[in-house]
Amino acid sequence: MRYTQETGVIIEKREIAPGIFDVAVSLPVIAKAAHAGQFVNIICGDYLLRRPISICGFDPEKGTLRMVFEIRGKGTKWLAERETGDTLDVVGPLGHGFSLVDNTKKAVIIGGGIGTPPLLPIAKFYGGNATVITGFRTASAAILQEDFEAAGAKTILCTDDGSAGFHGFTTQALEKHLGNNECDIIYTCGPKVMMKGVARLAEARGIACQVSMEERMGCGVGACLCCVCGTKGKDGDAQFTRVCLNGPVFDSAEVDWDA
């Protein structure tokens, strides 16, 4: 049985930026099986569809899963109203995650907004060989900088309004970084336009690039075909591929950004 449905107790909850919450949930079975880039599907109150949330961290020993989420609508609002001691109905771990092979390689990790949390385990894997470029609307919305630093990674913070760090987009910071530094592999998660830009920069330099896609989901396990994104087939023709099963992480070259 690859998938588990587990009821987990929230053991820690913090609001790390306005409207953004960091929770640790006791989910021993899922935490043991989890891999970087995978996600879980959570029941949010009376809403029919589960909400997909990425795995930001997992501790197989303690049996805990860490998730960071932002209030975006009614489901995530419900989730934000849960307190320590409350339980969550969680299915996971789901999807195909990031591939982490050789931590002596130089990795550049680009996160946009709430796309940043699933990238933390990658930084932990590469440690000092990772450079993490993250972008947020404004300084107060910036998250996880200390966590990336604690992992040993170099961090480059970007804000749209210039209130902290580099005033501009992550793609601009990435372009600058690639001009002066070695890079063997790129990982990215965030808004589609940002990932498309990152993928273009990577492809132009022949650097492998893994992107984590987002799409509305039904079953979350690969059975209903509701969550597809456009990909390029073997012979280059357009096809639709399940984000929940074949993704959320894809090789950027596979993705058809204009589908």
Partner 1 sequence: MPDMSVNLCGVKLKNPVIAASGTFGYGMEFNEFYPVSRLGGVACKGTTLKERQGNPPPRIVETDGGILNSVGLQNPGVDRFISVYLPWLKKQGTAVIANIAGNTVEEYCEMAEKLSGTDVDIIELNISCPNVKHGGVSFGTSCESVAEVTSQVKLRSKKPVMVKLTPNVTSIGDIAKAAEDAGADALSLINTITGMRIDIKTRRPILRNNTGGLSGPAVFPVAVRMVREVYKRVNIPVVGMGGISKWEDAAEMMIAGACAVQVGTANFHDPFACVKIIEGLEEFAKSLGLSSITELTGTLKEW
Ligand X SMILES: Cc1cc2nc3c(=O)[nH]c(=O)nc-3n(C[C@H](O)[C@H](O)[C@H](O)COP(=O)(O)OP(=O)(O)OC[C@H]3O[C@@H](n4cnc5c(N)ncnc54)[C@H](O)[C@@H]3O)c2cc1C
Ligand Y SMILES: Cc1cc2nc3c(=O)[nH]c(=O)nc-3n(C[C@H](O)[C@H](O)[C@H](O)COP(=O)(O)O)c2cc1C
Q: How far is CA 233 from the centre of its chain?
A: 25
- Binding partner of 137, given ligand Y, ligand X, ligand FES, none, CB within 5-8 angstroms per partner class: none
Question: Among 49, 44, 17, 55, which residue's Cα sits nearest to residue 212?
Answer: 55
Q: Footprint of partner 1 on residues 183-242 (CB under 8 A)?
A: 215-230, 238-240
Beta strand 154-159 with 130-136 is: parallel
DSSP secondary structure code for residue 130 in this structure: E
Residues 18-77 that bind ligand X (CB under 6 A): 39, 49, 51-54, 68-70, 72-76
Q: Judged by CB under 6 A, how many residues of this single chain contact ligand FES?
A: 12
For ligand X, the binding residues in 206-245 under the rule CB under 6 A are 214-217
Q: Does 219 bind ligand FES (CB under 6 A)?
A: yes
CA distances from 151 to 95, 136, 209, 249 (A): 24, 20, 21, 22
Position 53 contacts partner 1 (CB under 8 A): no
Q: Are 185 and 238 in contact (CB under 8 A)?
A: no
* Unique residue bearing structure tokens 């339980």: 87
**39, interface contact from ligand X, ligand FES, partner 1, none, CB < 5-8 Å by kind:** ligand X
Name which of partner 1, ligand FES, ligand Y, none residue 3 binds, using a CB cut-off of 5 to 8 Å depending on partner kind: partner 1
CA distances from 134 to 47, 113, 117, 215, 250 (A): 32, 7, 10, 21, 20
Q: How far is the CB of 63 from ligand Y (least distance, A)?
A: 34
Task: Name the residue whose CB lies closest to ligand Y.
Answer: 224
Task: Quote the CA–CA distance of 87 and 227 in Å, as a whole number.
Answer: 27
Q: Pick the binder of ligand Y from 49, 226, 228, 245 (CB under 6 A).
A: 226
The residue (of 218 and 222) whose beta carbon lies closer to ligand Y is: 218
Contacts with 221 (C-beta within 8 Å, 6 or more apart), sequence order? 3, 91, 94, 244, 245
Q: How far is the CB of 33 from partner 1 (least distance, A)?
A: 11
In angstroms, what is the minimal distance from the CB of 38 to ligand Y? 23
Nearer to ligand FES, 131 or 231 (CB): 231
The nearest distance, CB 226 to partner 1, in angstroms, is: 4
> 126: part of which helix (H) or strand (E)?
helix 120-126
Q: Which residues bind partner 1 (CB under 8 A)?
A: 1-3, 5, 43, 47-50, 91, 215-230, 238-240, 245, 259
